[in-house]
Amino acid sequence: MKKPEKIKILGQWAKVQYVDLTKGGEAVGEVLYGDCDVATRTIRIEKSLDDNLTKRVIKHETMHMKLGLSGLSEILTDEQEEAICVLVESD
C-alpha cells in the first residue's frame, strides 16, 4: 500500500505523518493508533501498523478532521464523535 502523505478534507489539505505513537502522553495500557490536530491539519498514524489497520485508522482520523473542520465536533459529545468515527472506519 502506498501511504498518502496528504489528504484533501473538505477542500483543505491535511498532512499525514507516520510516527511512533507508542511513546509519550497516553495513559498506561492505552493503545494509540492515530490522532489528528484540526488546527494544524495534521493526522498522525502509528508507523508500525499493517496496511489494513493503517487504512482503517486513516479513515477514522479523517472523519475526526471532517467533524472538526465542519464545526460539528462542537455539538457532539466525545462519545458521539468517537462512535461516528468508528462507524466510518468500518466501511
pLDDT tens sequence across 17-48: 999 988 655 555 567 899 999 999 999 999 99
Supply the pTM of this predicted model.
0.90
Position 30 scores a pLDDT of: 67
Q: Do residues 41 and 67 touch, judged by C-beta distance below 8 A? A: no
Position 22 scores a pLDDT of: 80
Give the residue-averaged pLDDT of 58-86.
Answer: 97
For cell 489497520, name the residue: 53
The torsion defined by the Cα of 61, 88, 30 and 39, in degrees rounded to 10, comes to 20
Other Cβ atoms within 10 Å of 9 Cβ, number: 21
Position 91 scores a pLDDT of: 78
